[in-house]
Amino acid sequence: MKHTIAILVEDLPGVMARVAGLFTRRGFNINSIAVGHSETPGISRMTIIVNGDEKVLEQVMKQLNKLVDVVRVRDIPAENIIERELVLVRVHVDSLAVRSEIIQLVEIFKAKVVFVERNTMTIEMSGDEEKINGFLNLLKPFGIKEIVRTGTIAINKNSKNGLK
Amino acid sequence: MKLTGTEIIVECLKQEKAKVLFGIPGAAIMPLYDTFGKYEEIPFKNILCRHEQGAIHAADGYARATGEVGVCIATSGPGATNLITGLANAHMDSVPLVAITGQVPTEMVGNDAFQEVDITGITLPITKHNYIARKIEELPLIIKEAFYIAKTGRPGPVLIDLPKDIQLSKCNFNYPERANRRGYNPSYKGHLKQIKSAAIKIMNARKPIIVAGGGVIKSKASAELIKIVSKTNIPVVNTFMGLSSFPKNHPLFLGMLGMYGQYTANQSVSNADLILALGTRFDDRITGNLSKFCPQAEVIHIDIDPAEIGKNIYAKIPIVGDLKNVLQQLNNYLEEKEPVEWLNEIKGFKEKDPMYKENDNFLLNSRFIMESINELFRGEAIIVTDVGQHQMWAAHYTQVNFPRHFISSGGLGAMGFGFPAAIGAKIGCPNKPVVCITGDGGFQMNIQELATAIYNRLSIIVILMNNGYLGMVRQLQELFCDKRYVSTELAGNPDFVKVVEGYGGTGYRVGKREELIPILHEAHSKNEFVLIDCHIPQEENIFPLVKPDSSINQMIGVD
Ligand SMILES: Cc1ncc(C[n+]2csc(CCOP(=O)(O)OP(=O)(O)O)c2C)c(N)n1
Ligand SMILES: [Mg+2]
């Protein structure tokens, strides 16, 4: 089962290691982890995507809660999730025909060309994981040179279950 | 007035009412020791140990015996890494400690400087929390928080890493009144609705049993527990960590539960319909094969740490809170009760329990030694043990009637713990007799602390259960490896009496039954450090026991 966990942490050195360490110890592979400032100064928000057993996850969340630097932990349920990821992808472009084909895809996916060279195009796109994977799959035949993904960030649709 | 980092530490320790520090100096923590030297009289005892592991186990024994925070000090690098076993031990047994380590100067941190180790990184999973001080201005708050976190909620060890430059720099000193962390709010009060449902379940149960764990001692809830038992006549078993939380001489006490537990305790828990679990984490040494653990019992689980509830055993009624509070409240909703049939059924278990049979062996065996200790001290002594067969004999047979009077390494099972812990316990409770029951293997893991004990004139009685073997492992080899005693014979043991004499202490050697009691009396009356080297039968076993992976009601060694 895929789980999206939102965590508020105090912005202190070592906090990433404390949080990540708990997942590793219980045999969880972190699929992605994204960190940034939250609405409160001194508090950062982490979004962690993991796959794993329900019961083990409950234990990891309880252990996370015990960390002094962790202010709050929530599992965002699939039915209430809004998730986004940002990707930068550089594709190989060897002809005019290819270029226009890619531009078409960019338009369909509401992506954006951010940089162009003679033989490459760099495209920015955001969306949920499924959309991003779909887009990248369509680009694959042209020759992808580089992919940079931020990892998923997520918010709960239900504002009462926010992480205040 | 501006104070240096080390003066700030002394002031903070004073404010926290630390009475004793255990440690060993080194270059990176020199400024702190030098500050001690500048005070005409430092406001605490400074005990020099002979190994940092000895120092931290002593601080741990001190904390377990007194209920206060134990403090230990080590230098950077090897001093700090020598603390690791002690931190893990305190972490697993939830003992409040503050460990202070020196560190190379801030600008050298990360450069692999001489005696630099990333001790906060290394100890992440074995401390409740840890700090590296980066600015002198943060230091008072760090120390305040460290003590607060160590002793509140579920207690545990906290480490503070102190770069040398921070120790030497200066700032204005103000000790914060309180520590306040947004992410740290232990729940002390139990949920009232849950407590009421628990009371109903307890009143309706036909075969209820109380499993009292270490949390009862930490929360100082023994009196509340005894009250509930007097009212409801529900029998009590202890986990290993719970020993001393309930008087062993109470008629409703059924002994210790678990893999090396007692027959009556294991059978009673296995046949119960309701388990009231207090401050226990259902460790695998308690449950045996988890899937076969008490299939027909419902569990009410009370603990201050929500992560322990539902971790190993499903709890029908979970209650998060401080046991003392919760038991007080729970008692209000309980009525008098006497589960007569159930208590009769338990009588049947006792008839088969070797514990209740006469000691019919005429050798200087373990049980005789424990019973001799009981005769002399009548449950008044603080018993501190090491790890091994002697530990389990002590758990079964020593008379322990008051909280904090049984001290042992439970979760980590760390050999070498007992002797230094006894030193800490004696320093914490100078007016109580302290008896250290140890093995010939484990004693040698911190034997150097003889200097600490004897130099400081600590009147500890060490009972060395000398069987010439790493007995606990030898027994497993006997039972499960066709007696292939590989690496368990302690050939090369020293003459322990001479070793003690070399340090200036007194030692006795006992080989026969009739010698023991007079020597024990003599030792006790001397009021100084004494070791009694008891030569016990080499291949005595600890029984009954549960084979790994078996259910706890299937015990070997019960006919
Ligand atoms: C530090 C450490 N190393 C190894 C062990 C494994 N171990 C558990 S009990 C034991 C034997 C203890 O021997 P001794 O101290 O002589 O006590 P006895 O069992 O003979 O009473 C050993 C080696 C341990 N628990 N701790
Ligand atoms: Mg031995």
Task: Please write the tens of the pLDDT for every residue from B30-44.
Answer: 999 999 999 988 999
Contacts of A43 in chain B (CB under 8 A): 182
* A interface residues, B as partner, C-beta within 8 Å: 9-10, 13-14, 17-18, 21, 25, 43, 58-59, 62-63, 65-72
**DSSP-assigned beta bridge partners for residue B461:** B435, B530
* Centroid of ligand 1 to alpha carbon of B362 (angstroms): 26
Give me the total of CB pairs closer than 8 Å, taking one residue from chain A and one from chain B.
Answer: 41
Domains of chain B: 2-172 (3.40.50.970), 192-355 (3.40.50.1220), 364-536 (3.40.50.970)
| Residue B83 binned pLDDT confidence (cut-offs 50, 70, 90) | very high
Q: Count how many Cα atoms sit within 13 Å of the Cα of residue B267 in the half-sphere of its side chain.
A: 18
For residue A5, list its beta bridge partners: A48, A75
Active site residue B347: no
Ligand 2 centroid, distance to B35 Cα (angstroms) = 43
Instruction: Give distance in angstroms: CA of B176 to centre of ligand 2.
Output: 49
Q: Identify the burial level of B410 via C-beta atoms within 10 angstroms of its C-beta, where 0-12 means exposed, 13-18 middle and 19 or more buried.
A: buried
Catalytic option among B194, B472, B475, B529: B472
Catalytic, B496? Answer: no
Instruction: Report the percentage of chain B scoring pLDDT > 70.
Output: 100
**Residue reference for tokens 């986004």:** A84
Confidence of residue B331 (pLDDT cuts 50, 70, 90): very high
> What H or E segment, with its residue span, contains residue B274?
strand B274-278
Please give the helix or strand (H or E) that residue B343 lies within, else none.
helix B340-352
SS in 3 state form for B75-124? CCCHHHHCCHHHHHHHHHCCCCEEEEEEECCHHHCCCCCCCCCCHHHHCH
C-beta of residue B405 within 8 angstroms of C-beta of residue B381: yes
Q: Is the peptide bond before B163 cis (omega within 30 degrees of 0)?
A: no
Q: Which residues contact B406 (CB under 8 A, 6 or more apart)?
A: B243, B244, B382, B383, B385, B394, B395, B398, B400
Confidence at residue B184, expressed as pLDDT on a 0 to 100 scale: 96
Helix, coil or strand: residue B222: helix
Q: B310 and A58: CB-CB below 8 Å?
A: yes
Q: Residue B357 is encoded by which pair of tokens?
A: 């049979």
Ordered by start, the domain boundaries in chain A are: 2-76, 82-153
Mutate to test the interface with B, among A15, A66, A71, A73 (most CBs of B within 10 A): A66
The C-alpha atoms of residue B217 and residue B225 are separated, in whole angstroms, by 10
A160: confidence class by pLDDT, cuts 50, 70, 90 = confident
The answer to whether residue B164 is catalytic is yes
Of B128, B151, B164, B207, the active-site residue reads: B164
- Say which of B19, B36, B108, B115 is annotated catalytic: B115
Catalytic: B402?
Answer: no
Q: Locate B383 and state its tokens.
A: 């018993």
pLDDT level of residue B380 (50, 70, 90 thresholds): very high
Are B73 and B44 within 8 A, CB to CB? no
Q: What is the pLDDT of residue B548?
A: 85
SS (H, E, C) B145-176: HHHHHHHCCCCCEEEEEEEHHHHHCEEECCCC
Ligand 2 midpoint to CA B428 (Å): 28
- Please give the average per-residue pLDDT across B252-280, as a whole number: 97
Rounded to the nearest angstrom, the distance between the alpha carbon of B439 and the centre of ligand 2 is: 5
The per-residue pLDDT for A57 is: 87
The mean-pLDDT minimum among A124-138, B214-228, B244-258, B360-374 falls in B360-374
Question: Cβ of B305 under 8 Å from any chain A Cβ?
Answer: yes
Task: Average the pLDDT over A127-140 and give the result.
Answer: 95
* Lowest pLDDT segment from A49-58, A96-105, B448-457, B524-533: A49-58
Lowest mean pLDDT among A26-40, A60-74, B298-312: A26-40
Helix (H, G, I), strand (E, B) or coil at B280: coil
Q: Identify the band that residue A56 occupies on the pLDDT scale cut at 50, 70 and 90.
A: confident
pLDDT at A117: 94
Q: By three-state DSSP, how is residue B34 classified?
A: helix
Q: How confident is the model over A63-91, as pLDDT tens digits?
A: 999 999 999 999 999 999 999 999 999 99
Question: Which chain A residues are closer than 8 Å to B121 by Cβ?
Answer: 14, 17
Q: Contact B402/B246 with Cβ under 8 angstroms? A: no
**Residue B537 pLDDT > 90, yes or no?**
yes
Q: What is the dihedral of CA A22, A26, A28, A34, to 10 degrees?
A: -10
CATH fold of A82-153: Alpha-Beta Plaits (3.30.70)
pLDDT, residue A1, reads 85
Confidence of residue B362 (pLDDT cuts 50, 70, 90): confident
Contacts of B304 in chain A (CB under 8 A): none
Residue B133 structure tokens: 């001080």
Q: Which of B228, B191, B307 is nearest to A26 (CA)?
A: B307
d(CA B179, CA B201) in angstroms, rounded, equals 39
Which residues are CB-neighbours of A149 under 8 A, at least 6 positions away? A32, A85, A86, A87, A132
Option in A14, A62, A69 nearest B183 (CB): A69
Q: How high is the pLDDT of residue B1?
A: 82
B358 is catalytic: no
Find tokens 């293997």 and name the residue: B441
Residues 6+ apart with CB under 8 A from B324: B219, B220, B221, B224
pLDDT averaged over chain B? 97
Assess whether the region A2-76 and the region A82-153 belong to the same CATH fold: yes
Ligand 1 pocket mutation, candidates B85, B472, B485, criterion most atoms within 8 A of CB: B472
pLDDT of residue A65: 95
A10–B182 CB contact, under 8 Å: yes
Confidence at A144, pLDDT banded by 50, 70, 90: very high
Nearest CA residue ID for atom 5, ligand 1:
B415
Cβ separation A68–B305 shorter than 8 A: no
Q: What pLDDT, on a 0 to 100 scale, did the predictor assign at position A164?
A: 64
Sequence-ordered list of residues with C-beta below 8 angstroms from that of B281, at least 6 positions apart, any chain: B213, B303, B305, B308, B311, B312
Q: For residue B354, how far is the Cα from the chain centroid?
A: 26
pLDDT category, B559, cuts 50, 70, 90? confident
**Geometric angle at alpha carbon B228, from B226 and B234, rounded to 5°:** 95
Which of the four pLDDT bands, split at 50, 70 and 90, describes residue A28?
Answer: confident
* pLDDT of A52 strictly over 90: no
Which residues from B are below 8 Å from A67, CB to CB? 129, 183
Q: B121 touching A, CB under 8 A?
A: yes
Residues with CB under 6 A from ligand 1: B 386-390, 413-416, 439-442, 465, 467, 469-473
- Identify which of B503, B384, B527, B515 has the alpha carbon closest to the alpha carbon of residue B449: B503
For residue A104, the surrounding DSSP H or E stretch is: helix A96-108
Residue ranges of E strands in B306-370: 317-320
Domain A2-76 classification at class level:
alpha beta
Which of the four pLDDT bands, split at 50, 70 and 90, describes residue A108? very high
* Cα separation, B499 vs B494, whole angstroms: 7
